[in-house]
Structure 1
Amino acid sequence: MKAAPEAQRRLLDLQAIDTSLAQLAHRKRTLPELAEIDAVARELSALEDERVRAQVAVDDLDRDISRYEKDIEQVRVRKDRDQQRLEAGGALREIEGLQHELATLNRRQSELEDAELELMEQREAAEQTLNAVLQRLAEAGARRAAAEQRRDEAYAEIAKEQEFKSSARGPLAADLPPDLLSLYDKIREDSGLGAALVRSGRCGGCRIELYGADLARVKAAPADEVVRCEECRRIMVRTPESGL
């Protein structure tokens, strides 16, 4: 393939832009915020499981406490009824029976209240556990929001740089011979680098020094000949600093 030396040298400018665009794309894919957001998302998922378990524990205790409250209230109602009957008087046997039942109800009420108190203490501990999980959820959510904001700011900055580089690439690429540009793009798509400067007798693509028949071939090639490296197959752009 033939191409004017100046056109070949412009490939280096195009490659510099493409390298910058590739670096920007890589930076976008590997932002530290992305890994942080993923890690926090996993943490939030685990914390949400903890929250559900803690909430279930509190709800179960609330249900049990409510049941005890109803039982205690029923005992109180029976006590009030028996006390009224006792105060109304009656046969000795009936009075003795009421007194015995009142004593039994008092013991039952005491047992129920003790059990309820124990449950209320358990509920207080369960609620503290739930509140701690909710606090950790809130903190993790705030960290995720902050990381997402930093990610979005980085995305915006990268997009701005990409737009600037792409706007510079368009006219430069349009000014190159179509066949040369096509060859360059194909090589770049395969290896990430389509053209490289030969400096001091060394290929700028694979960094291998030219010698022997390969060096003679490159030296003998006309200035308008598009020369490719035998090792990496990239276009070797020759300039006065190539040392040929």
Structure 2
Amino acid sequence: MALKASNHDQRLLLALQDVDTRIVRLTAKAKNLPQSKRIEELDTELSQLDRAVLERLGAHDDAEAEVGRIESDVQTVAARLQRNRDRLPTLTDAKTATATEHEIATLERRRSDLEDMELEAMERQEEAATALAAARAEAATAREERERLAAEREVEAASIERELEAARAERGERATPVPEDLLALYERQRARYGIGATLLRRRTSDASGVELTAAELHEVRSAPEDDVILDPNSSAILVRTEESGL
């Protein structure tokens, strides 16, 4: 036996469906905020950029350590060279003096080589510092963009949530006057097919956008006004009004 409900009560479903549709759209909007995709991209980029910063920091620290080691070697050679120079005038043994002069020459060459190495190492350290600064700047720029987008998304999400709260409250008001059995059918069809009620407008269902066939229209015209009819295309409750063109 077909469910019975006054046309007035059936029309109440259209307002309920309207708010339910709004809730679905707002929920989908909240899950697909425009900032989210870019934030996900930035999270991936930041993971790579932060790794690059660590790698360049390591390279910079290695270069800095190398400069320190060479500077230490230069100081050691310079100190030994100075001792030999100070000692040379005091030597009376010719053989010892010759050996000392030879060591001084060797130390001078060694110091020159180390100074050249130090310059090269300092250049590498400077290049590493420049690369590190560039990596940090790039990561900082990406992080600032992410923070800005996250703040925008939070504001937009809060706005949508306020709309959702208002829509849910409105839904409660819209559902209250609907008879229980009619509301139960509406909820069941909406859960199964996504739409619980639809207007028959000029012989076409709003939900499906499909015009009813002649046979279907005949059945609708023949049905009493308080018969609850399901749309053959969307399976939603088909609500008849003066716009239906019957």
TM-score when normalising by structure 1: 0.97
Distance in 2 separating the partners of 1:230 and 1:24? 28
Residue equivalent to 1:143: 145
Residue equivalent to 2:180: 178
Residue equivalent to 1:190: 192
Distance in 1 separating the partners of 2:193 and 2:154? 30
User: Cα deviation per residue 1:120-139 (whole Å; 9 max; x = unaligned)?
Assistant: 00110111011001001111
Distance in 1 separating the partners of 2:193 and 2:139? 45
1:216-235 equivalent positions in 2, closer than 5 A: 216-235=218-237
Instruction: Tell me the SS of whatever aligns to 2:199.
Output: strand
1:108-127 equivalent positions in 2, closer than 5 A: 108-127=110-129
Residue equivalent to 1:31: 33
User: Cα deviation per residue 1:97-156 (whole Å; 9 max; x = unaligned)?
Assistant: 111100100000000110010010011011101100100111111100000011001011
Residue equivalent to 1:215: 217
User: Cα deviation per residue 1:25-67 (whole Å; 9 max; x = unaligned)?
Assistant: 1111111100011011111111011111111110111111111
Instruction: Tell me the SS of whatever aligns to 1:205.
Output: coil
Residue equivalent to 1:133: 135
List 4+ stretches of structure 1 deviating above 3 A: none
For 1:217, give the aligned amino acid: E
Stretches of structure 2 lacking an aligned partner (at least 5 in a row): none
Return the match for 2:55 from 53, 56, 59. Answer: 53
Instruction: Tell me the SS of whatever aligns to 1:225.
Output: coil
Aligned-residue CA RMSD (Å): 1.1
User: Cα deviation per residue 1:81-108 (whole Å; 9 max; x = unaligned)?
Assistant: 2122212222111111111100100000
User: Cα deviation per residue 1:190-218 (whole Å; 9 max; x = unaligned)?
Assistant: 22211110011111211221223211111
Count of matched residue positions in the alignment of Structure 1 and Structure 2? 244
Residue equivalent to 1:107: 109
**How far is the alpha carbon of 1:7 from its aligned partner?**
1.0
Residue equivalent to 1:166: 168
For 2:143, give the aligned amino acid: G
Distance in 2 separating the partners of 1:204 and 1:2? 22
Contact 2:91/2:97 (CA < 8 Å) preserved in 1? yes
Distance in 1 separating the partners of 2:210 and 2:87? 111
1:42-81 equivalent positions in 2, closer than 5 A: 42-81=44-83
Distance in 2 separating the partners of 1:40 and 1:140? 7
Residue equivalent to 2:7: 5
**How far is the alpha carbon of 1:189 from its aligned partner?**
2.0
Return the match for 1:240 from 239, 242, 246. Answer: 242
Return the match for 2:202 from 200, 203, 213. Answer: 200
Instruction: Tell me the SS of whatever aligns to 2:238.
Output: strand
1:76-87 equivalent positions in 2, closer than 5 A: 76-87=78-89
